[in-house]
Structure 1
Amino acid sequence: MSIPDRVIAIIAEQAMLEPSDVTLDSTLEDLGVDSLGLVESIFAIEEAFDINVPFNANEPTAGDFDISTVGSIVANVQRLVAEQS
């Protein structure tokens, strides 16, 4: 499974949606993912890709990890995976 597909599957699971309902342009707010769902998604992404996401739940917009859309999350995960290899 590709990185975008895995990230979408994780976010869809948190949003209790089908992966086909999640697009790269979707925002977490559009999908009904609350702050707890976001934190759970980040943990699941870290586990799935064996990466450390620079994310502070108290300041979600701070730092290098853009969570504005599903596409931006995918791009950040791809960057972190590439940096690790």
Structure 2
Amino acid sequence: MSESVKDKVIQIIAEQAVLEVSDVQMDSTLEDLGIDSLGLVESIFAIEETFDIQVPFNANDPSESDFDISSVASIVAAVEGLVAEQQT
């Protein structure tokens, strides 16, 4: 059985934050986890590479992005949506 999108995203975020996977909660914000803007960009790249998707994210102006980075749960939901779109 393959890992779920949620598990893979949490694993990527934990790696960027240098935390254990168990330390990453769905309601955590990237700020809570100590991920700065560079860590965020690296996380986005890792997500794109892992799932073979294009994330609509503007690193220069994250508030203008369609990709919600407000919490781990919102990132997981956004990635699940992009993966589902790709499969149609």
Q: TM-score, normalised by structure 2?
A: 0.95
Contact 1:55/1:65 (<8 A) preserved: yes
Task: Compute the displacement of 1:61 (Å).
Answer: 1.6
Aligned to 1:63: 65
> In 2, Cα distance between the equivalents of 1:46 and 1:24?
20
Measure, in 2, the Cα distance between the counterparts of 1:3 and 1:71: 11
Q: Pick one of 6, 9, 12 that aligns with 1:7.
A: 9
| Distance (whole Å) between structure 2 residues aligned to residue 62 and residue 4 of structure 1 | 24
CA deviation map 1:28-70 (0-9, x unaligned)? 0000000000000000000000000000110012121000000
Q: Equivalent residue of 1:38, what SS?
A: helix
Detail structure 1 runs of 4+ shifted over 4 Å in the superposition. Answer: none
Name the counterpart of 1:37.
39
Aligned mates of 1:10, 1:21 — CA distance in 2: 13
Gaps of 5+ in 2: none
Q: Determine the C-alpha separation between the residues in 2 that align with 1:70 and 1:13.
A: 13
Counterpart Cα distance in 2 of 1:32 and 1:60 = 17
Distance in structure 1 (CA, Å) of the matches to 2:29 and 2:65: 18
Larger Rg computed on CA atoms: 2
Residue identity over aligned pairs, in percent, reads 74
